[in-house]
Structure 1
Amino acid sequence: MKPDDRIRVMEIIARMNVSGPATQVTGLCERLSPVEFDHRLYTGYVDGGEGDHLQLRDATIPVHRVPGLGRAIKPADDYRALFGLANAMREFRPHIVHTRTTKAGALGRLAARLSGAGAARVHTYHGHLLDGQLSRLRQAVYTRTERRLASMTDRIVTVGARVRDDLLAAGIGRPEQYVVIPPGTRLGPLPDRGRARAALGVPLDAPVVAYVGRLKKAKRPDRLAEVARAVLARLPGARFLVCGGGELKEELERAVMPMWDSFRLLGWRRDVETVYAAADVMLLTSDSEGTPLSLVEAGMAGLPAVATRVGSVPEIVVDRRTGFLTEPDADEMADHLVRLLVDPGLTRRMGESARAWTCRAFGVDRLVADTEALYRTLRGAARSEVGSR
């Protein structure tokens, strides 16, 4: 295939902070066929206090920085980003504009219309804001805006069936617009358990629980502290590894101060594999999720999980086979954690099942194959509508 005949894809994401969306984008940038696709990443800068995925993972993928594109909503910056994206589209002339995250999804799709490029428009929902995270007024504005944007979109991708069903129930898009593409990732080599624990200051014989993710409201770090208190009341020697950061970091520090010796607050780390290698069980305490990659990675590391039954989590954790799904109740979560921590045989069996399931269903090669197939379909649609360029 001649280079000029490649499918040109413009990938737009607000920022490449440590998160599932950034992991997905990195995998695609690294592995999409360069012979068939000219795939370019457009993004803003990571805010202070957030981990930068590209730096932490030593990623060397080319990045096109868009001034004004980022996390915060600021009208002047947003207009700057909108027109910057539109100008970039006129220059690049993409066949496909693929947006991710709420702000980038809005600006990218508006820019595609403003530019007149005629590209097929794809938006991926890695989650949504339909589950009580917003006030009633903001929720109504969000829903109305997403309905309007869906009318300007050729394909809506969701990372799980539950996310798709929630969006459809809110009147966002039509069933025929939707494609479910589960996330895909890969995990680096795991260090030896003893070396991992020594590196993190954890006793070799301690029962260890890992939490990996941002410390923000939807993730409920306050519930993490409640669960820890309940576990430590029964297993005083247990340890909790918290890998991540965010706006509630200081709040979590205050909450766990009475249990400080039982916690390791690790911040963002390049070597998340060390955290998984040192742990026995993975914990997720969220009120809201899409399809959390931390659970996928933990499964690939052979860890069973105790997780709230929210979003598409049940599409990753197979209840009572690869872990336990619970209501958002700290005592129930603590009960399941203790059960796993005192029964190494059960933990090992569930961990082996988790590794087999996640490696089969959520590998990065499957993600790339599914995405390439979607892009080929959309290139055909683009040619029929706007010509082959």
Structure 2
Amino acid sequence: MKPDSRIRVMEIIARMNVGGPAMQVLGLSEGMNSEEFDHRLYTGHVDDGEGDHLRLRDASVRVHRVAGLGRSVSPADDVRALFRLVGAMRRFRPHIVHTRTAKAGALGRTAARLSGVGAARIHVFHGHLLHGYFSPAKLRLYISVERVLASMSDRLVTVGAQVRDELLAAGIGRPEQYVVIPPGVRLGPVPGRDAARADLGLPRDAPVVAYVGRLTRIKRPDRFLDVARAVLHRVPSCRFIVCGDGELRQELERGLEPVRGSFDLLGWRRDVETVYAAADVVLLTADNEGTPLTLVEAGMAATPVVSTRVGSVAEVVRDGHTGLLAAPDAAELAEHVVRLLSDAGLSRRMGEAARDWTMRAFGVERLVSDTEHLYRSLRGASRHRPTLESSNI
């Protein structure tokens, strides 16, 4: 294709912080066929603690910063960001506007409508905010807003079937609008176990359990701490490593003080594969998830996981085969952790099965291929005149 006939894609995300949506954006931006697609990324700014610099410092992606398009909600900033997006769309004239995260989804789809450029509109739900985020009144408002935004969309993409089904059950969108595109991940070279432990200052032979992710309420670091206490009661030599940061860090530090010698708080690390390699188990304790990339990455590193059975986690972790799932209950999670720490053969078999499964199902090349196919099917579409192909990508 000649450059002037490429499919123009304007991708909008509120913040490129350390998290699943940002990883997907970078994987797409770096892997997409530049001869067929003119793909441009528009994003806001994030606080230093959110890890924006870790994602973008070494990336080859050209980033267009949009003032006001950050995490916080501010009516004045949001309106300014909206009209900056309208102006950017009128200059770029994209065939497709592709939004991620709730705020960017609202502003981006509204801007696409106001701009008059006729772009097809895609919004990605990497999870949803239906559970664990809002009071009942705010939840009703959130659902009402998402229903309106869905009516302004050509395609609604979810990272898993369970996320799609929960959104449909809430009346958000129509079944024919939805496409399930699982995430795609590329993990860096995984070091050997001994080298990883030496790098992190961990004992060579101690059992190690890792938490990787943001320290926020929905991730339930308090539950992680409860699991750790229960595990330590039965496996006193166990060490727990926390790779991440967030607003609950100080609360976690206060809570773990009685068992401080069993914990290592690493903060954000770019070499997350070192953390997975050092761990015997990766533990996720969240109340709500989409398709967590932490568990995909752990699988690629051949580290078995124990997780709450929420969102589309069961589409990543094959319970009893590549890891163990539990209710959001600290006692049950601790039982699973102890089981894996106590049975090296089971742990090894699950880790190997997890690596085989995640490498096949969640490679970034598959993500790029699925997304390129979706873009081709939507070129020139509008919500009034859809030219969509199959919804089973």
Tell me if TM exceeds 0.5: yes
TM-score class, shorter-chain normalisation, is over 0.9
Question: What's the counterpart of residue 306 of structure 2?
Answer: 306
Question: What's the counterpart of residue 19 of structure 1?
Answer: 19
| Deviation of 1:188 (Å) | 0.6
Q: Which amino acid aligns with 1:59?
A: A
Question: What's the counterpart of residue 250 of structure 2?
Answer: 250
Q: State how 1:264-283 maps to structure 2 within 5 Å.
A: 264-283=264-283
How far does the alpha carbon of each residue in 1:38-82 deviate from its partner, in whole angstroms, 9 at most, with x for none?
Answer: 000000011242122654762231100001100000011101100
Secondary structure, counterpart of 1:171 in structure 2: coil
Does residue 291 (structure 1) correspond to residue 277 (structure 2)? The answer is no
| Deviation of 1:258 (Å) | 1.1
Question: What's the counterpart of residue 322 of structure 1?
Answer: 322
| Deviation of 1:195 (Å) | 1.6
How far does the alpha carbon of each residue in 1:228-263 deviate from its partner, in whole angstroms, 9 at most, with x for none?
Answer: 000001111101111011111111111111111111
Question: What's the counterpart of residue 212 of structure 1?
Answer: 212
Out of 378-387 and 199-208, give the one that drifted further.
378-387
| Deviation of 1:208 (Å) | 0.6
**Contact in 1 for aligned 2:132/2:218 (Cα 8 Å):** no
| TM-score between the two structures when normalised by the length of structure 2 | 0.96
**Contact in 2 for aligned 1:300/1:354 (Cα 8 Å):** yes
Question: What's the counterpart of residue 164 of structure 2?
Answer: 164
Question: What's the counterpart of residue 84 of structure 2?
Answer: 84
| Deviation of 1:380 (Å) | 5.0
Question: What's the counterpart of residue 357 of structure 1?
Answer: 357
How far does the alpha carbon of each residue in 1:153-186 deviate from its partner, in whole angstroms, 9 at most, with x for none?
Answer: 0000000000000000000000000000000011
Secondary structure, counterpart of 1:306 in structure 2: strand
| TM-score between the two structures when normalised by the length of structure 1 | 0.97
Change (3 A) 1:115 1:168: same
Secondary structure, counterpart of 1:381 in structure 2: coil
Secondary structure, counterpart of 1:185 in structure 2: coil
For structure 1, the residue ranges without an aligned partner over 5 or more in a row are: none
Secondary structure, counterpart of 2:40 in structure 1: strand
Secondary structure, counterpart of 1:49 in structure 2: helix
Change (3 A) 1:377 1:384: farther
Q: Which amino acid aligns with 2:294?
A: S
Q: State how 1:38-187 maps to structure 2 within 5 Å.
A: 38-52=38-52, 54-55=54-55, 58-187=58-187
Return structure 1 stretches of 4+ with deviation > 4 angstroms. Answer: 53-57, 382-387
**Contact in 2 for aligned 1:57/1:270 (Cα 8 Å):** no
Change (3 A) 1:104 1:86: same
**Contact in 2 for aligned 1:19/1:53 (Cα 8 Å):** no
Secondary structure, counterpart of 2:122 in structure 1: strand
| Deviation of 1:281 (Å) | 0.8
When the two structures are aligned, how many residues end up with a matched partner? 387
Cα RMSD, aligned residues only: 1.5
Separation of aligned partners in 2, 1:362 and 1:334: 28
Change (3 A) 1:345 1:218: same
Secondary structure, counterpart of 1:9 in structure 2: strand
